[in-house]
Amino acid sequence: MQPIPIKVKNVTIYQYFNPLEPLTEVILTDGTGTYSLGTLGLNAFYNLTLDNEGKVTNPLNVHVKYYATFETESGHISTTPWMYCLDNSDNPEFGRTIHMVAADTNDIGVNVANESGFITLGALTNITVSQFFPPPAIGQRTLITNGTGNIIATKLGTPHEMGVQVDTGDWFGTILAGSKNIMISGKTKNGDTFSQTGYTVITGGKPAIFLKEFFQ
Question: C-alpha distances in angstroms, 211 versus 33, 80, 135?
Answer: 26, 18, 23
Which tens digit of pLDDT belongs to each residue from 11-68?
Answer: 999 998 866 555 678 999 999 999 987 766 556 778 899 998 789 999 999 999 998 9
List of residues 6+ apart from 105 with CB closer than 8 A: none
**Gap between the Cα atoms of 90 and 60, Å rounded:** 10
Averaged pLDDT for residues 81-86: 88
Q: Does the structure show a pLDDT above 70 at 111?
A: no
pTM for the structure as a whole: 0.50
**Gap between the Cα atoms of 102 and 100, Å rounded:** 6
39 CB neighbour count, 10 Å cutoff: 22
Which tens digit of pLDDT belongs to each residue from 148-201?
Answer: 999 887 755 444 578 899 999 999 988 887 888 899 999 998 888 999 988 988
Confidence class of residue 110 from pLDDT cuts 50, 70 and 90? Answer: very low
Q: Does the structure show a pLDDT above 80 at 86?
A: yes
Q: Which pLDDT score is estimated for 3? A: 58
Q: Does the structure show a pLDDT above 60 at 124?
A: yes
Q: How far apart are the first and last CA of the chain?
A: 17
